[in-house]
Every structure is written in structure tokens, then in C-alpha cells.
Chain A
């Protein structure tokens, strides 16, 4: 009898389908994946080390550059954490503006993740549709904040500037456009037979494994765990938020959960625009000493900032726990194990929306 040779299959660090460098080492028998290991360290910048001893104006920008894709939420979480320490309450209009910018950022991040997935399973048409729709969101983000990616819109005590009515109107019409277009794309995704072949029943993550590895965000919500830090946030509670949960736990569920969350974000922005009353957007206030652990929901899941400040508002100690850490770990150690084909390695990996820059900081 011919002996089956076990092959160790490395993918990366530079791979056509990855936006970022990382190295997946898969132990395979034929096409069947026995186990996988991810090697990191390609984008380790030591952000937490740099942040120590710096005032908020510098740490705010460093926090934003933990991850370029979900930059707004890092800014948002850091600022709300230091605000909680010093007891600063932002004006109501500023709170709603923060939600609007954050949800726009979530939309572009989810659309980018779904673009990557569609591109990975070689459905390039849908991928380009989704990527072009993302540009509409980016335009709105630029219109409100003045920059496409690293917006630096949220500062302690409020936001940088107001959203005048003409820009709000343009935002509303863009939301209508996104709503109608995305409904079409989601129908393409749902009914595509080849998409179903590459997505349904592949890369299954069970609820138990997700709980043990502390999976978060759309990855966990697609496996039937209803966790979303937004339901604890007062502004989101005022907007009537409830998380999107699916139960299949495969690639398809994760992508659909993200599409559903984009629709949810559209509705959240609409209701925030309705509820917003004219008023000030900056309340002032200085950062004081204290320590806090603050959690918020990033596009990829729960984001934790654990920080200590001194009496002049400098950051003494900081630890950032980003959602990608948990999601990539559960992806590499649970989903990739027992993948039927080597071609599914990349699609499973991309479906968990990995962000290596977040993971390593």
C-alpha cells in the first residue's frame, strides 16, 4: 500500500489574497487539513510600549493607528475610556455624531471584509460591486470628518466639528443608495449556487469552541452566541439596538451576519439623524487620574482598553485587547482543522475577517 505523505503547507507571509502579511502553516494529508498554526510578528510595532507616558493627543492617534480599517472605533473606545475616568459627559449631539461616524466605519469595514471573501472565492463581480459600494460610504465619512481612513473625529468632551444640515441630507441620500444597492447584492449572494458550494457548511465553528476561545463579534454571533457590547452602551440603547444572531456557524453565516449588520447600521444612522437635536458638540473637560477597563464593539467584535492615567492625563499603563486576536485564534485552531480542501484554507481564514495589524499592534 502506498503511504500517504503528510505535507506541511505554508501560506504566506505575502499571499495574493491577504491584505496583510501572516503565515499559516497547515499540516495536510492530501487536501485534508489536519491542523494549522499561524505565525505572527510581521507587523509588530510595539504600540503599547510607545503609548506609555504620553498625553491623550498623542495616544489618540496611536490608538487610531492600531488598525487602519476600523480606526474610528479605536479612537472612540480610547476617548470614552479616558472620559469615564475623568467623569466627562459629552453633549447629546456629540454622542449621536460619534455613533453616526462609528456606524459608517463599521459599514465600510464589513463591506471590505465581504469584498475580501467574495474575491477569495473568486466571485470577482460581486466583490467589485461591494468594493464600489464601500466607496460611497467612504465618501460620506470624508464629507463628515475630512479624511477617508484615519478620521480623528472624536476628542474628549465631544467631536471635532458639527454636521450641518446639507451634509446630513447628503448622508441620508447615500444611505438610501446603499440600502437599495446592497439588497440587490445580498440577493446575489444568497441565491448564487457557486457561492453556496464554497460557503455553506465550510469552516464550521461550534458554539462550545467559540465560547472556550472567547470568540467575539460577527464570528461569534454567526455561531449563535448573542454578544454585542453595543447593547450596554447608553447611546445605542437610546437608539433601540439588538444584536444580529445566526446559528449555522459556517462561512456563509459569517458573511450574511456582516451583511445584516450593514443594514442594521444604516437603520441606526437613520434613527440617530432623526433623534439628533441642534446643540453644542464640545463640552470641554480635562483628563484626570484613574484606571479603567472599557469595552466597546468594534466591527470585528469586542475591543477592550485597559488603561491607567496620571493626574495630568498622561497614559501610564495601557493594554489593548483587540477582537481579531480571539477570532484569528479560533479560526486557526478550530475552523481550519478538518477543512476538506486546501483551497478552503484562505476562504475560511478570510471569512473570520482577520486583521493582523490589530492582532499584533
Chain B
């Protein structure tokens, strides 16, 4: 492994840009992501920045079961994220549809039908600690030696 690759790995593990998209959640998971920003949990001390612009992001946090309006919008949004990229499903909704996955519902879970999901954080909603520790443990693994893996 070249020394540049090592440097890249180190930098990447300390600088993760996050974008979140709500595809039909109840807001519970969204405010738990927001709570991660608060000085109590302080997500930025680990080098994670919340951007909300898919073109700048590395990690896409997805909350919510899949509502019909997103059918033609989530895929383009996912394609706009530059490589290396990874999607994380937050909460029960993108995994299973939570309590909304019943007959007569409008949502269409799971989200993994539409874009590849790398990790799932179960819980309704998950605690901020669970969200932070998952992103921290996942991101270095995904982004490590990205250039070498690509070849």
C-alpha cells in the first residue's frame, strides 16, 4: 500500500460528510439525527459534517418508509453522490416499514429495493449514540483503500 493511500485512509476516516434525506418518516429519526449535532453529542468532534447537499456527501442517511412521491427522486439523488459513497438506513422505517407496513398503506418499504443500503440502525427511533457509533464504525471500513478496491 502506498503512503498516499495510507494518508487518504487517515484523512477519510476523520472527514465524513453526511447528507440526510427523509423519504416519509414521522420526524422522530430526523430529530434524533439533529440531536447528534448538539454540543452534548457533538458529531463534529469526530469529523462528521452534516451537509444536506448530496453532491458533497459521502454518507447518505435515509429515514422513513418509502412514500410514492420519492419513486422517481431517490435514485437520481443517490446517483448525484460522488464515489466512494454509502447509504445508511436509520430507524425501523427504511428497514421494514415499522408500524406503517400494513395493508392499505401508501408506503413501499424497504428502501433497499431502490438503492443499496450498507448498514441499518434498528430502533424507533434509534438513540443519537447508536447513530454516531454506527457511522463511526462503518465509514472507515467502507472508505478504506477505496482506490485499490476499485481496480
Contact = CB atoms under 8 A, between A and B. Distances in A.
B30 A19 contact: yes
B99 A58 contact: yes
Interface residues of B, number: 42
A69 B31 contact: yes
A87 B106 CA distance: 34
Interface stretch (A37-45, A95-103, A162-170): A37-45
Interface string A16-27: 100111000000
Given A16-B52, A128-B39, A46 B32 contact: no
B100 A45 contact: yes
Contacts of B69: 41-42, 44
Nearest to B101: A50
B61 to A, nearest CB: 12
How many A residues are at the interface, by size bracket?
A: 35 or more
A68 B29 contact: yes
The DSSP consensus for interface residues of chain B is loop
A65 interface: yes
A200 to B, nearest CB: 27
A131 B37 contact: yes
A19 B27 contact: yes
A182 B30 CA distance: 24
A65 B106 contact: no
B34 interface: yes
Contacts of A65: 26, 28, 98-100
A204 interface: no
A110 interface: no
Contacts of A135: 35, 38, 40-41
Contacts of B52: 14-16
B39 A132 contact: yes
A342 to B, nearest CB: 18
A43 B28 CA distance: 13
Contacts of B127: 148
Contacts of A229: none
A339 interface: no
Contacts of B89: none
Given A14-B54, A14-B77, A128-B39, A67 B26 contact: yes
Given A16-B51, A46-B107, A61 B26 contact: no
B24 A131 contact: no
A47 interface: yes
B28 A42 contact: no
Nearest to B70: A42
Given A20-B27, A46-B104, A138-B35, A68 B125 contact: yes
A34 to B, nearest CB: 26
B99 A62 contact: yes
Interface in B36-53: 37-41, 51-53
Contact of B68 (A20, A21, A44, A128): A44
B67 interface: yes
Interface in A114-153: 128, 131-132, 134-135, 138, 148-150
Given A45-B67, A62-B99, A128-B38, 7 more contacts: A44-B67, A44-B106, A45-B100, A46-B107, A68-B31, A112-B31, A135-B41
17 contacts: A16-B53, A19-B22, A19-B31, A42-B69, A44-B67, A45-B107, A46-B105, A50-B100, A61-B99, A62-B99, A65-B100, A68-B30, A71-B28, A134-B38, A138-B35, A148-B125, A149-B31
